[in-house]
Amino acid sequence: MSKSRRVFSKEFKSKVVLEALKEKNTIEVLAKKYELLPNQISMWKSEAIKNISAVFSVEKPKGKSNEISSEKLYAQIGELTLENDFLKKKLF
C-alpha cells in the first residue's frame, strides 16, 4: 500500500510558521502537535523568512478607487445630515 502525500493549505502552513517564529515552543513540540516532521517545519520557516519581503513589496492600487469611495461617503454624509435636520424639525 502506498501512502498519498498530504497537501497543506496556505493557512495551515502560515499558522505553523507563525508559531515557529514566536519560539514559544520548540520545533519538535510543534511537529508533534501538528503531526509533521521537524524538518518540514524548518523548511517552511526558512522559506517564509526568505520571502518575507514580498509581503511588503505589494503596491497599493492608487487612483480613482479611493476617490470614488470618498465621493460616495461624502454623498452619504450629506444625505444623513439632511435626514437628521428633517427629523429634528419634525421632533419640535
Q: 71-88: per-residue pLDDT in tens? A: 888 889 999 999 998 888
DSSP conformational letter for 63: S
**Cα 88 off chain centre by:** 43
- Under the banding of pLDDT at 50, 70 and 90, the label for residue 61 is low
Q: 4-58: per-residue pLDDT in tens? A: 888 999 999 999 999 999 999 999 999 999 999 999 999 999 999 999 888 888 6
- For the chain, domain boundaries: 8-58, 60-92
How much is the pLDDT for 8?
A: 92
* pTM of this prediction exceeds 0.75: no
